[in-house]
Chain A
Amino acid sequence: MASLGELERAVMDLLWAGQEAATANTLRDRLAQSTRSEDGSAGHEGKDLAVTTVLTVLSRLERKGLVERERGTRPHRYQAVSSRADHTAELMHEVLGSAPDREAVLARFIGSVTDTEAETLRKLLGRS
């Protein structure tokens, strides 16, 4: 049985790859499929995966603000709040941005440099 963290990852990957909202049942079937094709075996791991587990994972993701639920339909259909690229951009904005306490949150190898400085460094690279 995969850990909740790994399942969250797998579910997000499916939601990011799929274009439309999916129910927990659909997601479970697709998860089962992907483990089967990876193992090349009967994929009992996928079969063991209960819909309730998928729902737990989905509600965790919903709490983290990564997944939203369509309220009107039953069973609920879930979709990603924003795309993988958007989330990556969000992360990088935090890394590269100029929020005053950013430096306390994480430490970058190199801070932002000015154009002239980047030019000097490029020359340095050419020389060495």
Chain B
Amino acid sequence: MFWTSYFLAVLAIVLAWPVPILLSRAHWTAQSPFTAMLLWQAIALAGGLSMIGAMLVYGLEPVGDNLLAGLKALAGMVFINAPTTELGFWHIFALSAAALLTAHLVFTLLLTYYKIQRQRRRHRELLDLLASPSADGPGTMVINLDSPVAYCLPGGARSVTVLSDGLMAALEPAELRAVLIHENAHLSQRHHLLLWAFAAWRQALPWLPTTRLAQEAVSSLIEMLADDVALRTESRATLIRAIAIVASGSPGTPAGPMAFSQPELNDIDSGQPGATGGAGSARTTASRVSRLLSPQPPLPKGLRAVVLAVCLLLLALPTALLIVPGLLG
């Protein structure tokens, strides 16, 4: 029990700080974004699990040889008023912290979901009034705006991809197809669920390096995944042109990224240091373009298998440490 809690604590710290920093600097993630995405998910899950597990195991140490016995003893104290004298102050502190952290994570996840849904519903209501359905199909709408803008709004069967007049005017048909395929890839691969989970993770523990780095990495990786889907049917040059035109405004216009009032742009560019959509997404665009300009082969199969094995190990290790002693004993 004692060593288990120490090991889990070390694992939690390693996954909260040095590992995400190293992974966020790695270059191979752009070569195999899908594998990198799995690794980030494994790090987040294993990190949370070992954080809570370490406190739980430490707190239950005096009352049980393993987690299951400890939890049984704890249930006795909570529900049938068994004596609690065996637990010292720090044990109770650790148990309370574990309970609070679990509740905090679940609550933040739900709250974030509710907030996102509300914003999407409001956005969709306005779109229904302001945008008109496009000829490209029921899932596409066109909004009357001169600057080139494209985005998708997830919402189950009511998911929609929004294009601006300015975008349709600035892009050639093939480039427009590339944009549409890219946005539809976000929708069909359910990227919004990943973004939701990592946004909530960051919202819950904003001071932890891993939550910020993980969210930034995941936002960037999903763009690469969607680019890869577009590359299956459209050429590299087409996609690069589409990105360049949308990012720099329409070709030939000296105005900033979007034809919007300057204060608003400054507001966006400066962003708070922690805000996504500021410097973070500028880096995303840069890495996307450089990845398209000088394509690298995906990671060799062997290496990808190693990363996958690491993912499995990360999840299996804390789970096994928590549960197996109880099953054996």
Contact = CB atoms under 8 A, between A and B. Distances in A.
B192 interface: yes
- Among B126, B153, B277: residue with most chain A CB under 10 A: B277
B219 A109 contact: no
Contact of A104 (B183, B196, B258): B196
A117 B222 CA distance: 21
Nearest to B281: A111
Given A96-B260, A110-B247, A121-B248, A105 B120 contact: yes
Contacts of A113: 247-248, 257, 282, 285-286
A105 B151 CA distance: 10
Nearest to A109: B150
Contacts of B277: 96-99, 102-103, 111-112
A125 B195 contact: no
Interface size class of A (residues with CB under 8 A): 35 or more
Contacts of A128: 237, 240-241, 244
Nearest to A8: B129
B200 to A, nearest CB: 8
Interface string B77-97: 000000000000000000000
Interface of B: 112, 115-116, 119-120, 123, 125-130, 143-145, 149-154, 179, 182-183, 186, 191-192, 195-196, 199, 202-203, 219, 222, 237, 240-249, 251, 256-258, 260, 264-265, 267-269, 271-272, 274-282, 284-286, 289
Interface of A: 5, 8-9, 12, 64, 66, 84, 87-88, 90-115, 117-119, 121-122, 124-125, 128
10 contacts: A92-B149, A100-B202, A105-B120, A107-B195, A111-B277, A115-B256, A118-B247, A118-B257, A124-B289, A128-B244
Would you list the 10 A-B pairs with minimal beta carbon distance, nearest first? A111-B281, A109-B150, A98-B271, A98-B277, A104-B195, A121-B244, A104-B199, A98-B275, A108-B151, A118-B248
